[in-house]
Amino acid sequence: MSLRRRFLLWPIASVFVLTVTGVLSRDPLVDALTGEPTEAVGLTFSLGYLVSAPIGGLLDALSLLTDRQHVAVLLSMVALIGGWCVARSISSTFDRGRIFREFLIAAAAFAAFVSFYGYGVLGVRPMASLHSYDPELAIVDFHSHTEASHDGRAGLDIRTRREWHRGAGFDLVYVTDHSHVETALKAGAGNPVRAGDGTSLLPGREVVFRDQHVLVLGTNDPTAGISDDSPWPILIQTIPNNLSRVPVPIHADRGGVQAIELLDADPRGLRQSVEDRDLILSIADSLNLALIAGSNHHGWGRTAAAWTLIRIPGWQSQRPEEVGHQVEARIRRDRADALQVIERRRLKGGTSTESSLMAATTLPRLGWHILTSLTFRERLAWIAWLVLATFLKARLASRKTRTTSYSP
C-alpha cells in the first residue's frame, strides 16, 4: 500500500464512523424523570472546550460513569494493553529482551491512561454548560461542598466553588458543607446584586438526621437546630444512602424531608440512582416529595451530571436571597410539581446486578455511547482534529522520506 493511501485510510474511516454515528446520534440531555429530550435547555460550549473537544468529550463521558463502570474500564484497559503486547511478542522470535521491552511498553501505555484519568479528576479544563431558553427558569444545584467539609478538596474555596458552577451553567448554588455553615454564610458577600447577573451561592449544610445524611436549606438561619421549637427548614434526602430509613413527617409538615435526590453525581450516587430508581420514585410519590439533582461536588472533576430547573417569574431581577426564599417556598408548597431534573445522557448499566457480559463490554459500549452523544459542533471539532492530525503526520512522513532519499 502506498504511503498516501496508508495515511488517508484511517482518517477517511474515522470520518465515516463519525458521520454514521451522527445520523444515529441522540440528544445529550434528557429529562431525568421521563427519559425524553427537552427543548427548554441546551448545552453550550466555549471556544476552549471545542478546541479541545476530543479530550473534553472523553473526560466528560468517563466522569459520568458509576463506580463499578470505572473499575470495568480500568480492567478492560489492562486486558487490552496486555493482550496487544502479548500478541506482538508471540508474532516475533522468542527474545527475553523483546518481552521485557513489551512489558515496559504496556506499563507506559497503562500509566498514560491512568494519567489521562487523573487529569480528568484533578485538571482544570473548559466545561460544558447548561443554557436555559426560558428566562423564567432558574438552574439550581442543591448539594455542593467546599474545603470546609472534611472530605472537600484543599483549595476549594468560595471563589473556586462559584467558578465551577458558573462554568456548568448554574444560577443558584446551595453550599452544603458537612455540619459546617460559616463558609456558606460568607459566600453571599460575593453574590451579584441581581440574581440574573451571575452565579449566586446560598447557605445550607449537610447533617446527619435520624441516621440519614440530609441537606438543610434555609436562607433565614441554617445554623438553627432541627426541632419543633423553630421554623422547620427544607430537608432533602441524599443518596447514596439507606433509603429504607428516609425520615418521614411526624405531623403536618414537620419531622421529615420535603425532597429527595433523584440523581447524585458521586459515582456511588450515580449507581444508586439507577439501582434504586423505582424505590426513589415510589418514596417520592408516597410522601409527596420534590425530586432534585445534586452535584455533590467536592472538588474533583469538571463535569456536571445534572441540573435542577425551577420556574420563578422575574427571578433574574431579584436579590439572590429573595430567590432563595422563593425556591424553598415553592418546594414546601408544590413538592412534586415544583422542579424538573435534567441530566446528561449516560452509559447504561454499572449496577451491582449487572451481568458479566454487560460489565465486560463496558469499554466498547462507552465508545459507542460517546460517538452517538456528540453534538453537531463537537462532531465538527473531532473531524477538524482528525484532518489536522493526518496533515501533520503526512508532512512528517514526507520529510523523513525526503531526508532518506537525499542521504549520501
CATH number of the domain bearing residue 237:
3.20.20.140
Task: Judge whether 37 lies within some domain.
Answer: no
- Is the same domain home to 83 and 148? no
H helices of 335-375, in order, are 356-360, 362-373
CA dist 362 → 76, 85, 253, 366 (Å):
8, 21, 44, 6
Residue-level pLDDT at 115 = 96
Q: Is residue 72 a contact partner of residue 362, using CB atoms and an 8 Å limit?
A: yes
pLDDT per position in the chain (408 positions), as tens? 555 565 667 778 888 899 999 999 999 999 999 999 999 999 999 999 999 999 999 999 999 999 999 999 999 999 999 888 878 777 666 667 777 888 888 899 999 999 999 999 999 999 999 999 999 999 999 999 999 999 999 999 999 999 999 999 999 999 999 988 888 888 889 999 999 999 999 999 999 988 899 999 975 555 555 665 556 789 999 999 999 999 887 765 666 899 999 999 999 999 999 999 999 999 999 999 999 999 999 999 999 999 999 999 999 999 999 999 999 999 999 998 999 999 999 999 999 999 999 999 999 999 999 999 999 999 999 999 888 888 787 777 767 666 655 545
Task: Judge whether 336 lies within some domain.
Answer: yes
Domain boundary among 344, 364, 395: 344
- Is the same domain home to 64 and 80? yes
Q: Which residues of 170-195 are buried (b: 16+ CB within 10 A; e: fewer)?
A: bbbbbbbbbebbebbbebbeebeeeb
Q: Which residues of 86-99 are buried (b: 16+ CB within 10 A; e: fewer)?
A: eeebeeeeeeeeee
Residue-level pLDDT at 388 = 87
- Is the same domain home to 288 and 140? yes
Task: Judge whether 192 lies within some domain.
Answer: yes
- Is the same domain home to 19 and 116? yes
User: What is the rounded CA–CA span in Å between residue 84 and residue 111?
Assistant: 15
Count other C-beta atoms under 10 Å from residue 314's C-beta.
12
Task: Judge whether 384 lies within some domain.
Answer: yes
Residue with cell 463490554: 361
Task: Judge whether 22 lies within some domain.
Answer: yes
- Is the same domain home to 97 and 155? no
Residue-level pLDDT at 226 = 63
- Is the same domain home to 273 and 306? yes
- Is the same domain home to 340 and 211? yes
Residue-level pLDDT at 252 = 59
- Is the same domain home to 212 and 279? yes
- Is the same domain home to 313 and 298? yes
Domain boundary among 300, 320, 344: 344
Residue-level pLDDT at 100 = 81
Number of domains in the chain: 2
**Domain boundaries, position 221:** 129-344
- Is the same domain home to 170 and 273? yes
Q: What is the pTM of this model?
A: 0.91
Nearest to 268 by CA among 238, 288, 307: 238
Domain boundary among 319, 344, 369: 344
User: What is the rounded CA–CA span in Å between residue 145 and residue 294?
Assistant: 11
Q: Is residue 297 a contact partner of residue 63, using CB atoms and an 8 Å limit?
A: no
Task: Judge whether 327 lies within some domain.
Answer: yes
- Is the same domain home to 278 and 133? yes
